């Protein structure tokens, strides 16, 4: 279980005890200590390239899955929006039918609520106004009648001009 410590140090990376210390007296000794230290460090990261490759592949796969998930999420949102629009139009037409409103332009212009309660109130009001209009017809009070006839207007003008009265 214990490994032999390289010359001049320990495996733990700690400073060697005073009795283990060996002074470096030449460039060759220094190079040897540095190479041993580099070898230990490189051994720690020997599988770095494999891990980097695997991490890259994982990122690509995760990104592809995320992209598919985002596409699915966007499609779901689009379908929900379309479904809500169809529900709203269906409710609008049902309420219009319940109140006897058949003119497509009236439905489009006057039934603009987004909830059933508002649409019902709008439809009741429109149906009441439509019923009042049908009941009264296109009648304008006093249209075509005048308080004085044309003949009497002419007489008044002549009398005013000639001063007869």
Q: Which helix (H) or strand (E) holds 47?
A: none
Residue 111's closest CA among 158, 102, 120? 120
What is the pTM (predicted TM-score) of this model?
0.42
Residue 152 — φ and ψ, nearest 5°? -70, -30
Q: In Å, what is the CA distance from 106 to each residue of 73, 88, 101?
A: 37, 16, 8
Residue keyed to tokens 């109140």: 99
Q: Report yes or no: 110 and 99 within 8 Å, Cβ to Cβ.
A: no
Residues in the chain, total:
165
Cα 27 from Cα 42, distance rounded (Å): 22
Print pLDDT tens along the chain (165 aa).
444 555 555 555 565 555 677 888 899 989 999 999 999 988 888 888 889 999 999 999 888 888 888 889 989 999 999 999 999 999 999 999 999 888 888 888 888 888 899 999 999 998 888 776 766 666 666 666 666 555 677 778 888 888 765
């Amino acid at each position: 279980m214990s490994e032999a410590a390289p010359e001049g140090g320990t495996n733990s990376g700690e400073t060697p005890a005073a009795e283990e210390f060996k002074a470096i007296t030449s460039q060759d000794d220094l190079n040897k200590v540095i190479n041993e230290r580099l070898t230990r460090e490189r051994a720690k990261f020997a599988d770095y390239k494999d891990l980097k490759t695997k991490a890259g592949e994982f990122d690509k796969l995760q990104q592809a899955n995320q992209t598919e998930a985002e596409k699915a999420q966007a499609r779901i949102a689009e379908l929900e929006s379309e479904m809500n629009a169809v529900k709203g139009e269906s409710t609008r037409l049902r309420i219009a039918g319940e109140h006897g409103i058949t003119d497509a332009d009236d439905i489009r212009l006057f039934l603009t609520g987004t909830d059933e309660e508002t649409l019902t109130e709008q439809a009741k009001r429109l149906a009441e106004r439509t019923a009042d209009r049908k009941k009264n017809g296109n009648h304008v009070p006093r249209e075509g009648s005048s308080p004085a006839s044309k003949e009497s207007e002419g007489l008044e003008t002549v009398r005013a001009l000639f001063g007869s009265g």
